[in-house]
Each structure stands twice: as C-alpha cells, then as structure tokens.
Amino acid sequence: MKVSVIIPVYNVQEYLAECLDSIINQTEKDIEIICVEDCSTDSSLKILQEYAKKDDRIVILQNEKNSGLSVTRNNGLNIAKGEYVLFVDSDDFIEPTLLETTLKFASDVDMVCFDYREYDGKRYITDSHIYEIPDGYYKAYDYYLDLFKGNMFSFSACSKLFRRSFLNEHNIRFEKGVLYEDVLFGFYCMINAHSIYSLKEKMYFYRTRPNSITRTRLKEKNIKDHFYSLYKICEYYLSNSFSKEHNILIEKFIQRLERDYIRLYREYFCQNKDKGELIEQECTSHVKLQRAFSNSMLGITDYTLLLEKHLNSIKRREKIIIYGAGIVAREVINCFDLNDVSITGVAVSDVSKNRKSLFGNPVRALSEYESIKEECLVIIAVSSKFSSEIEEYLKKQGFKNYIKLF
C-alpha cells in the first residue's frame, strides 16, 4: 500500500464530507483512509460510517474517550500500513492530484514538502502563505536554512508527505495533551531528516474558522503550551550533542519560537488586563525562565553580544533611543525584549524613507528627541558601513551619550 491518509475527526459534521470526497477522489488509488473518531457529539461518526459503506479503503478507529488531536493522530499512525503518511485535518481538503504528484518525488527522501492555501468558506486567500523555495531535492539542512532565511517556516504537519519508516525509526509522534502539537513534531522531523523534496505548488486547503484555536481569544493554556514546547526543545538541545550545522538550525528554530512566544504573551496580557498584576507576573516569570535557556543556546550575533556587555549600564538609563530601523535595530529590540529593557523610541535621519514603526515603536526623526538629548542614551543600531557616519552625525546634533555596536 502506498499511502495512509490519517484524518482525526471531532465535531466537524459541516465539513467532513468535503474532506472525505477530496481524499476518496485522489488520482492515486492505492491508499487507506484512516479516520480516527474522537468521541464527537454531532453526526460526524454517522457520516464516516455512511462513507465507509461505499468505500472499503476507509478504516474507522474510535477513541475510548475524547483525547485531543495529538493522541488521535498518533492512534491513526500506530495502525497505518502505507509506505507513506499524509495527515489531513477533517475540516480541510486537498487537491485531487496531491498524492500522485508528491509520490513522484518521494522515493529517495524522508518527506515531500508542499505549500497550502487558506480558505474561509467563501474564497481562497492566495497570499496567505509565502513559500518560495525552488522545487527540487535538498539536504535537510539546506532546505530548513533556506526556510529560516526567508521567514517561510511552517510548523504544519499537514503540508508534508512523510515516509512512514522515517517517523517510526526516530519514534516521531505528537506530544500528548498540548496545543501547538505540530511544533514539537516539526522540530523532531527537522533534526532527524536527511533529505527533502520541495514543491511550491499549493495543494492543501486549510479552512479558517471563527472558533478555531488560532482564531479564538487566547487562554492561559495557549501561553503555557507554547512555552512548554519551547522549554522541551531547549532542554533537548542542551542535553544532546549535535553537528555544527544542526546547532545553527536548532538555534534559529528556538529564536523563531521565542519571537512567537513573546508575541503571544503580550497579546494575552492585552486581552486580560482586567486580571491585573497576576497575569503580568506569570508572563514575566515565563520570560525569565525562557531567558535562562537563551543565554546558553541562542546563536547571538557579535553586535548583540557587544550589546549585552553594556546591559547593566543601559538598564540604569531612563531614556533609550534606538538609532536605525533595519535588521540590526530589530535584533537590538529583540535583545531588549528578552532582558526587560524598555526604549523611549526609534530614531532615523530621514523619516520619509523609513517605516512608520518598528515592533510597535514609532520611528521619528532624530530632531524630535532634541529635548532629551542631554539625558538619553542612543544605541547606534546600523551596519558597520554606516556606523561611523551616524556617530559623527549624532555628535553634530549634540547627542553625547551613545553606544556604537560596530
């Protein structure tokens, strides 16, 4: 058997038929369709049974109790017989040629990766995901490095066709009982894969729903589970030895998760201001614990290391200006975020040629900080090519307190 398609099913009676039809009608026919029913309270099981009567490739597996997405997917994977595995969520659907297309390139790789398109029930959101990796075979390291460079990394397990022996050989399964289950699963795939084929074609259709996890108001579990994934990856990294190449990949993976985590906890705090200081304390404790790992594992660039040498003196300043609005400035602000350093604002020479804000901080002309030039500290966060030029410019404008990173 070529492919096991694994579908976790829970309360999706409105969408299940469309999902099943897209799989039954695949141009590749040598498949099994494993539907794992997670104790739905609607008509989902009845729909599955009706489809199973018409197509003997459908296997229905029922959980004894409602167990969540991770356990449900794992249960399907544990009984799968196909040479390859595809995960499809039961409210999504796929192109009829997805399996035929990906199988053409699957024989010599651990997984075939492809793109997806969002669907809101009425229209396709064509620009929802930017995936510009050229089609072709890749060493896993090169593939993931290109993803990180282009900020194109997708955690989704549904946008990949996996060789089943690869998942079993490395005992790659979904973590039980946590949200964002694709994060840890994707991490273990990344560090164990040797070869990958990439396809830019959008062949999976991800349905956006108002009541989905990614669309609803954040809960404390969202924050804790995201942090749990980050913690587990940090712990795994510090407890094992890796090649230089894998160290780079893991550090970039962690940096991505850290940024996502900071964004989540800030959003959560804004949504729950009515709960007062307790929320802020919990968020801060998460960040401090995260930071304890960060110093040991993150691939920090030279200018950030230099910046950290000045952190104690920087923290004593009440007014801090970041000069620059490019890549270096973004890294500096990220470093400040991890170390609880607040900034007064961002300055540039010409506002008309720059962005309006950087991470929520308004970008203003240096002249607008004239009134605080005697007391503020300016971090020159530009590349080495322009660093000395900006230093001279600050001196001419009367700014005497500054730190030059290059």
> Which of these ranges, 82-86, 136-140, 400-404, has the smallest mean pLDDT?
400-404
Most confidently modeled range among 59-73, 270-284, 375-389: 59-73
Q: What is the pLDDT of residues 313-333, one digit of tens each?
A: 888 888 999 999 887 888 788
- Is it the case that residue 285 has pLDDT exceeding 60? no
pLDDT for 130 equals 65
The distance of Cα 302 from the centroid of its chain, to the nearest Å, equals 25
Question: Is residue 274 very low, low, confident or very high in pLDDT (cuts 50, 70, 90)?
Answer: low
Tell me the C-alpha distance between 270 and 21, whole Å.
42
Q: Which amino acid appears at position 90 of this protein?
A: S
Average pLDDT, the chain: 85
Provide the β-strand partners of residue 113.
160, 198
Token digits of residue 84: 């390859």
Place of tokens 């094992």: 240
- Is it the case that residue 277 has pLDDT exceeding 50? no
- Is it the case that residue 365 has pLDDT exceeding 80? yes
pLDDT for 129 equals 62
Which residues in 68-110 belong to E strands, given as ranges? 84-87, 93-94
